[in-house]
Structure 1
């Protein structure tokens, strides 16, 4: 692999996909669906995993997870992986990092915001299979986390609403990112 110019990340062949939205909007399901359709060589950089599991950190301005998400995505891109960064990723906390990452990426970058009204958020939340999580996270939590159309500046994101079925959304992202034209590498 050749050394990248300072401030750049990935190659012209790598794809970076950012999936943002409120809790229960479908981000994780879409990321898993993308990997299932694409195959190996697609890294999923999940905010919940890095923040809650790896660091066990509360979400707040200036959190350590912001840099860890950035570093992990850059590392994977620099090693030839296509990357999906997914999470609530509030614009005021994560926006600068995501904009810098998108700007630095040499390949195709596509950002999506999954817009699901609060009432639908509650319905989707109730279908989560983790009973312990459901017992711990209630409507009060969801209302506190919910932000209506928390978009990044400069129209960086394509908004996908709740009417888009999971498979349709996965196919749209594969097509728009060009991943539907890329052969996976069996690592």
Structure 2
């Protein structure tokens, strides 16, 4: 078992450019300190410099990092594309083992909207490195985890509305931030 009855675990999944990182940042901004962000891109690409493939080391690192943060008393957001076939078993175990409130969300954004959103990213190096063809290759329509454990949030939900919803549904809106 991991975390406490008071910790919150939020899993944010979806295709590239669906808004996962923006939602995670919005949750942290709204909540304050004591909210850990466990980002797949950071751990996989920056820490390990690893390709996303079945059985890759980042899967265990994401799991370990989330478990550590929860056990240290941090509310935790795990976010990334996190393909169901590769990351699903780890996420299922993490969700099962968490003692507190857990909510999983899938940001369901159509490919056309994904391409539009990606083009608005402010990092020219990223835009040159990640092309529309990459986004098409990576895109998986409704790559949901089994057993219906995710709430699907459509492209029509604004960033503000999505953050509000997750804060409310997880109870983070009623929990005081701890100044660490």
Give the structure-2-normalised TM-score.
1.00
Q: CA deviation at 1:136?
A: 1.2
Q: State the alpha-carbon separation in 1 of the partners of residues 53 and 128 from structure 2.
A: 23
User: 1:59 corresponds to which residue?
Assistant: 52
Note the alpha carbon deviations across 1:88-127, whole angstroms, 9 max, x for none: 0000000000000000000000000000000000000000
Gaps in structure 1 of 5+ consecutive residues: 1-7
- Which of 120, 128, 141 is the matching residue for 1:135? 128
Matches within 5 A, 1:14-163: 14-163=7-156
Gaps in structure 2 of 5+ consecutive residues: none
Q: Verify: 1:165 aligned to 2:158, yes or no.
A: yes
SS in 2 for 1:151: coil
Give the structure-1-normalised TM-score.
0.96
User: How many equivalent residue pairs?
Assistant: 180
SS in 2 for 1:45: strand
Q: State the alpha-carbon separation in 2 of the partners of residues 85 and 26 from structure 1.
A: 13
SS in 2 for 1:154: helix
Q: State the alpha-carbon separation in 1 of the partners of residues 128 and 42 from structure 2.
A: 20
After superposition, the CA RMSD in angstroms is 0.3
